[in-house]
Chain A
Amino acid sequence: MTDSPLLGRAPKRGIAALPGLVSDTTALTKRNLLMFRRVPQLLVFATIQPIIFVLMFRFVFGGAINVPNGSYVDFLMPGVFVQTVVFGAVGTAIGLAADLKTGFIERFKALPMAHSSVLIARILSDLTRNIFVVTLMTSVGFAVGFRVHTNPAQFLLAVLLLLAFGVALSFIFATVGIMVREPETAQAAAFPVMAPLVFASSAFVPVESMPGWLQPFAANQPVSAVITAVRSLVLGGPAVSDVLIATAWCVGIVAVAAPSAIWMYRKAV
């Protein structure tokens, strides 16, 4: 054992450390994704909930909700897409909290690996999950009568915007997960933050139907901003300014939440 080839190894820095970062991130992302196969409940419950929302709002409440123009299902689906991404982001918090709790991350700390790969892999695997869930929800939407009224390019842009929003939220919830270090607490801590953002938004009902005091918040908070942009992209109408506002939110959230997640991670381990 004393003839370990590692004895003479010099630590890599800068560009030379990149292959290590890439291979560590790949290994950890694979491991995170394997979790969805090993604990399929995670993905099943994460997808059943939005499907139930679609069915409930499409066939139960939808008839009672008046939307400005077009059909309710076309109004609803962009809201559901964003809701799915928002609720899914809790997975980032739960995953990190679980790894901190089991001591898995503490073990990483003593390994000759790129430590930033833990956060990057978590964000990447949650992005992958979002791609899957958004694809699934699109199919569900098409099945219940949702149609894209613009063109495939604009729809693709809408999906990219959704995924970008998902990444931004993942950074927020990474911070939460590292802070609470307990998967159950992460779940509980996330709900009161997300519920008002999702429900006091234009996801299910037009903002105009809400009481006057709530409208300014409901119309301008980030979840509504992204929903509005996705709607403009898939349903038609001038989309440029809506997309810019939504993009600005994504960039803004990343600019604040990413450094805080990194800072919390460094402090936590």
Chain B
Amino acid sequence: MTSMPELAIQAQQIRKNFGKVVALDGVDLSVPVGQIFGLLGPNGAGKTTMIRVLTTVLRADSGTATVMGRSVSREAPSVRGLIGLAGQYAALDPNLTGRENLRLVGSLTQISGRIAAQRSDELLERFSLSDAGNRLVRTYSGGMRRRLDLAAALVHRPPVIFLDEPTTGLDPESRVELWAVIKELVADGATILLTTQYMEEADRLADQLAVIDHGAVIAEGTPTELKRRLGSSVIELGFADDATATRAAELLAGTSTEEPHVTGRGVQIKSNEGTKLLTRLLRTLDQGGIEPETLTVHEPSLDDVFLSLTGKPTEDSAPPVEAAGKRGRGAR
């Protein structure tokens, strides 16, 4: 047995063209063992293509990539034994039961039938699908399919797991459930590379992030580092009159690294700590005997991220609000 590599995933200068379309334009990635690495980007940025290259499904035109020190192109069969992949669309057999789907994938990963059966039951339990295990997958809800799909990627206990937009299209409750499962997997020692379009998801889950656009990594760092660079959330409080607003602003000065900014009856404060600041603001106001009438929190959106990184909105995402009136919005 070879010694454990420090990097679970390493990619250097990965390029892939589909005809004239450049899908990946020299992507570098390094994911240490035991981390959750988030690949953040809009639709069409190249996230799925990158996952497909790293999971041996697609061959890159050039560049090298390894998973646990093994080349995805030269040692593809051995890489496949080390990875689990849950794609963007739940790739399951609708006419098999949940349990049968897991056992089938298990038997295709060369684990014995007995172990496959045992692990299938464990996974059904863990993903709260025990009751539905003997039902045909075609009767499952979207959230259940996603959970089963993720379970299917884990039957052979791969040390490296790839999740392509694991929560896209899920209701908020299923999303939170899936996040909890992903955290558990890492606690068990797995390494996870996940793609997402959602800043919030990346923020909640990822230890390390890479922002990808037009097939290239345009920023890298921890969520906190990136958010510091990419803009911050803005808390806006509305008061009964201008005088109260001014008094509130004086009271709130010093609660945040950023100074409050008064506009008429409103007070705006930038926050780099998300909603944590909110509690402090409200407590201070309460102590001062001032009650705000309205409260709004503007989170930096992915569009803001791209605006600040590239100076222009991405082609395929909605234009920022200021420009919406002039340029119109694509159908969503």
Contact between chains at B108 and A113 (CB < 8 Å): yes
Contact between chains at A106 and B110 (CB < 8 Å): no
Whole-angstrom distance between the alpha carbons of A4 and B96 in the complex?
28
Whole-angstrom distance between the alpha carbons of A9 and B70 in the complex?
12
Interface-forming stretch among A34-42, A51-59, A126-134? A34-42
Q: Does A10 reach chain B (CB closer than 8 Å)?
A: yes
Query: With A1-B189, A7-B1, A7-B159 as given contacts, are A108 and B108 in contact (CB-CB < 8 Å)?
Result: yes
Interface-forming stretch among B80-88, B166-174, B263-271, B308-316? B80-88
Whole-angstrom distance between the alpha carbons of A10 and B83 in the complex?
14
Interface-forming stretch among A23-31, A145-153, A164-172, A219-227? A23-31
Contact between chains at B78 and A11 (CB < 8 Å): yes
Q: How far is the CB of B107 from chain A (nearest CB, A)?
A: 4
Whole-angstrom distance between the alpha carbons of A214 and B217 in the complex?
64
Closest to B77 in A: A11
Q: How far is the CB of A53 from chain B (nearest CB, A)?
A: 28
Q: Does A6 reach chain B (CB closer than 8 Å)?
A: yes
Q: Does A110 reach chain B (CB closer than 8 Å)?
A: yes
Contact between chains at B189 and A111 (CB < 8 Å): no
Whole-angstrom distance between the alpha carbons of A28 and B100 in the complex?
12
Closest to B56 in A: A110
Q: Does B210 reach chain A (CB closer than 8 Å)?
A: no
Whole-angstrom distance between the alpha carbons of A7 and B190 in the complex?
13
Contact between chains at B95 and A34 (CB < 8 Å): yes
Q: Does A116 reach chain B (CB closer than 8 Å)?
A: no
Bitwise, B67-102 to A at CB < 8 A (1) or not (0) is 010000001011011110101011111111000100
Query: With A4-B159, A23-B107 as given contacts, are A110 and B95 in contact (CB-CB < 8 Å)?
Result: no
Size of interface on A: residues with Cβ below 8 Å to B: 32
Contact between chains at B87 and A111 (CB < 8 Å): no
Which one of A23, A24, A107, A108 has the greatest number of beta carbons of chain B within 10 Å? A107
Contact between chains at B158 and A113 (CB < 8 Å): no
Whole-angstrom distance between the alpha carbons of A28 and B22 in the complex?
36
Query: With A1-B157, A9-B81 as given contacts, are A113 and B92 in contact (CB-CB < 8 Å)?
Result: no
Contact between chains at B157 and A111 (CB < 8 Å): no
Q: Does B104 reach chain A (CB closer than 8 Å)?
A: yes
Contact between chains at A113 and B109 (CB < 8 Å): yes
Contact between chains at B85 and A107 (CB < 8 Å): yes
Cβ-neighbour of A110 out of B80, B100, B110 (below 8 A): B80
Query: With A103-B91, A109-B56 as given contacts, are A1 and B188 in contact (CB-CB < 8 Å)?
Result: yes
Bitwise, A1-28 to B at CB < 8 A (1) or not (0) is 1101011111110000000100110011
Q: Does A192 reach chain B (CB closer than 8 Å)?
A: no
Q: Does A112 reach chain B (CB closer than 8 Å)?
A: yes
Closest to A20 in B: B110
Query: With A7-B159, A31-B96 as given contacts, are A111 and B108 in contact (CB-CB < 8 Å)?
Result: yes
Q: Does A256 reach chain B (CB closer than 8 Å)?
A: no
Whole-angstrom distance between the alpha carbons of A198 and B4 in the complex?
61
Q: What residues on B are CB-neighbors of A6 within 8 Å?
A: 81-82, 156-158
Closest to B188 in A: A1
Q: Does B105 reach chain A (CB closer than 8 Å)?
A: yes
Query: With A4-B159, A7-B1, A112-B81 as given contacts, are A34 and B96 in contact (CB-CB < 8 Å)?
Result: yes
Q: What residues on A are CB-neighbors of B185 within 8 Å?
A: 1
Contact between chains at A110 and B82 (CB < 8 Å): no
Q: How far is the CB of B78 from chain A (nearest CB, A)?
A: 5
Q: How far is the CB of A268 from chain B (nearest CB, A)?
A: 12
Contact between chains at A4 and B136 (CB < 8 Å): no
Whole-angstrom distance between the alpha carbons of A111 and B108 in the complex?
7
Cβ-neighbour of A1 out of B55, B110, B190 (below 8 A): B190
Q: Which residues in chain A, 59-117, are within 8 Å of chain B measured between CB atoms?
A: 102-104, 106-113
Contact between chains at B87 and A107 (CB < 8 Å): yes
Which one of A6, A10, A35, A113 has the greatest number of beta carbons of chain B within 10 Å? A6
Contact between chains at B95 and A102 (CB < 8 Å): no
Q: What residues on B are CB-neighbors of A107 within 8 Å?
A: 85, 87, 91, 105, 152
Closest to B90 in A: A103
Which one of B56, B93, B100, B188 has the greatest number of beta carbons of chain A within 10 Å? B93
Q: What residues on B are CB-neighbors of A27 within 8 Å?
A: 104, 107-108
Cβ-neighbour of B110 out of A23, A34, A269 (below 8 A): A23
Closest to B186 in A: A1
Contact between chains at B92 and A2 (CB < 8 Å): no
Q: What residues on B are CB-neighbors of A10 within 8 Å?
A: 78
Which one of A2, A12, A35 has the greatest number of beta carbons of chain B within 10 Å? A2
**Chain B residues packing against A (C-beta within 8 Å):** 1-2, 4, 33-34, 55-57, 68, 75, 77-78, 80-83, 85, 87, 89-96, 100, 104-105, 107-110, 136, 152, 156-159, 162, 185, 188-190
What are 15 contact pairs spanning A and B, CB under 8 A? A1-B157, A1-B190, A2-B4, A7-B159, A11-B78, A34-B95, A38-B136, A102-B92, A103-B89, A104-B91, A104-B93, A107-B152, A109-B55, A110-B55, A110-B83
* The 8 residue pairs across chains A and B that have the minimum distance between CB atoms: A11-B77, A103-B91, A107-B91, A112-B80, A112-B81, A8-B1, A110-B85, A38-B95
13 additional A-B residue pairs with CB within 8 Å, beyond A1-B185, A102-B93, A112-B109: A2-B4, A2-B189, A4-B158, A6-B82, A6-B157, A7-B1, A8-B1, A20-B110, A31-B93, A34-B100, A102-B89, A104-B91, A112-B81
**Chain A residues packing against B (C-beta within 8 Å):** 1-2, 4, 6-12, 20, 23-24, 27-28, 31, 34-35, 38-39, 102-104, 106-113, 269
